[in-house]
Chain A
Amino acid sequence: MEMANVTFEYLPGTPLAHTALTDINLTISEGDFIALVGPTGSGKSTLIQHLNGLLTPTSGSLSFRGRRVGVDVSPLELRREIGLIFQFPESQLFEHTVADDIGFGLRRQGLTGPEVASRVENALLQVGLDYAHYAQRSPFSLSGGEQRLVAIAGVLAMRPRFLVLDEPTSGLDARGKAAIFDCLDRLNSDGVAILMVTHSMDEVAESARRIIVLNEGKIVLDDKPERIFAHASFLRGIGLDIPKAAELVYKLREKGFEIELDSVSVRSVVDSVAAAVKERCAN
């Protein structure tokens, strides 16, 4: 997926006109795992609604596998390949059973009986919910975390190759968050590209391999996590956090420790810090 010079204005030509995105250039490849971060109002939700054709750029263009969106490929076709999961998607659940809810989009595409059933079963498996235990239950009898997984399964049943999620873990407990990340990691290792909007830098540090920072409608950073968080004071200045693991490394460096930072995950930071501390003690 490629965005070239995309600018987007809400309510153009009115007194309320507001430019939410300015000159966005972005390429997303198969198998990417990207976190899209930025302060509230920076344009994250506006950007991701372009990715599956819900919004069309005021100027600039999008292309998918080299075909121009809106010219060679219709928004409808795009939506089949790119699954978009809104914030609090569980609020859209409405069917009597979990299986019917997950199968809804498939039936609307004209699929029937056994094909729907097998895809529903598979989608539940992908989000880590046991078919026998969940399929015939009412979505409304489930916990908030389980409901979120069912809503995600409804999108996975369409077999997207690219999954876009707007704050998928917000409001969930530790177990719910872990379940979402297990699911995303599994999908990604099967080659599904992931782009998730999040506020939690600690989550970003554990999963994403690339981070895009938006501020006031512009991309201000686009890089690997360990390089992004070297801009700690810039990030704090625009109201973003840095992961605790990266913070530890920077604060120890200020105290004279020599620590390499090749990943910002807890595990790898623990290894680097332990090595540096032992080295210092040995001297």
Chain B
Amino acid sequence: MIEFKNVSFDYGDDENKINALKDISLTIEDGEFVAILGHNGSGKSTLARLINGLLAPSRGEVSVDGISTVDSSAVWRIRQQVGMVFQNPDNQIIASRVEEDVAFGPENLGCEPAEIRARVDEALAVVGMRELAHFDPHLLSGGQKQRVAIAGALAMKPKYLVFDEATSMLDPKGREEIVATTRRLNSDYGITVIFITHIPEEAALAGRVVVLSGGTIAMDGTPQAVFADVDALADLGVGVPKARLLARGLEQAGIDIPDSILTVDDLVAALC
């Protein structure tokens, strides 16, 4: 379980203080798939970095499985438990062979060579990249590079994975690869996923959507509940799935349609 208790975070010094998060309280249970939406600067990346202790709260407490992220004896355990995947695939790759890149984390943990081998093989298999283990990662597509980055995080055997706009530099095919991979990690491997994105269709696949605005939590609920209020989301600088916009347009044109529709297939079913 990840828990934020009355967490605030300030960047800068006393004179130029930027209050990036304001008194956030949030609990994420094991096994959840939580999407986080919010305008640029709403505090999403700050929240992500607080989860694995890259940042320490200015006020309040962040805990992972009941242990505070500022507990110095637990820092390494938390880094291992909480994997991060960032936006730019090119900044996350260090080695010149895919498998070496994935081995980096377990090597740093001090694992035995046989254990490292087993972890790398498994992580690459999970993301569907085993055939490319010997490739130079720099020659891969964006989606493949991001899958290598995910494998690198998986090789640490994390309980939680945080994706900070990991799809935003990819083409539609690459995005689909990443979304499919993360859903599988959640449903088949029980990894808790925190998925930061600007793409409403991706957020709609989550079990829960949290919307940040100006450093506070503006909405928190199922995708159906959150995306029901199109105008409120627009005020928060957040879009809704295109199918929801189509459904709302039809509703305004006098056709009876529930406000829970998030996909074209649902919309077709409701109209037929």
Contacts and interface: CB of A to CB of B under 8 A. Distances in A.
Given A174-B39, A174-B237, A267 B243 contact: no
Interface in A254-268: 255, 257, 266-267
Given A143-B40, A239-B173, A248 B198 contact: no
Nearest to B248: A270
Nearest to A276: B271
A172 interface: yes
Interface in B47-74: none
Q: How large is the interface on B (under 10, 10 to 19, 20 to 34, 35 or more residues)?
A: 35 or more
B180 interface: no
Contacts of B184: none
B39 A277 contact: no
B168 A170 contact: yes
B263 to A, nearest CB: 9
A252 B253 CA distance: 17
Given A173-B238, A277-B255, A270 B250 contact: yes
B272 interface: yes
A267 B267 CA distance: 16
A241 B172 contact: yes
Contacts of A170: 168-169
A252 B246 CA distance: 13
Interface in A230-277: 239-241, 243-245, 247-248, 251-252, 255, 257, 266-267, 269-271, 273-274, 277
Interface in B14-47: 38-41
A218 to B, nearest CB: 19
B254 A173 contact: no
Contact of A145 (B40, B172, B239, B267): B40
Given A39-B173, A173-B198, A239-B172, A270 B268 contact: no
Contact of B245 (A172, A239, A266): A266
B165 interface: yes
A58 B267 CA distance: 49
A40 interface: yes
Interface string B184-212: 00000000000000100000000000000
A171 interface: yes
Q: Among the interface residues A171, A240, A255, which one has the most CB atoms of the partner chain B within 10 A?
A: A171
B158 to A, nearest CB: 25
A278 interface: yes
A86 B141 CA distance: 19
Given A173-B237, A239-B173, A248 B40 contact: no
Interface string B123-158: 000000000000000000110000000000000000
Contacts of B198: 171-174
Contacts of B250: 270, 273-274, 277
A173 B268 contact: no
Contacts of A247: 264
Contacts of A273: 246, 250, 271
Contacts of B254: 274, 278
A175 B141 CA distance: 29
B196 to A, nearest CB: 11
Interface in A1-54: 39-40
A202 interface: yes
A244 B268 contact: no
A211 to B, nearest CB: 15
Contacts of B237: 173-175
A248 B172 contact: no
B229 to A, nearest CB: 14
B264 A174 contact: no
Interface in A176-231: 176-177, 199, 202
B92 interface: no
Nearest to B238: A174
Q: Among the interface residues B246, B250, B265, which one has the most CB atoms of the partner chain A within 10 A?
A: B246
A278 B255 contact: yes
Given A174-B237, A174-B238, A248 B255 contact: no
Given A39-B171, A248-B264, A274-B253, A173 B243 contact: no
Given A173-B237, A274-B253, 11 more contacts: A172-B198, A173-B40, A174-B238, A176-B40, A248-B267, A270-B249, A270-B250, A273-B246, A274-B255, A277-B255, A278-B255
Closest 3 CB pairs of A and B: A270-B249, A244-B242, A274-B253
28 contacts: A40-B173, A145-B40, A171-B165, A171-B198, A172-B40, A173-B39, A173-B237, A174-B234, A174-B238, A202-B242, A239-B171, A239-B172, A240-B172, A244-B242, A244-B246, A244-B264, A245-B242, A248-B267, A251-B265, A252-B272, A266-B245, A266-B249, A267-B249, A270-B250, A271-B253, A274-B254, A274-B255, A277-B250
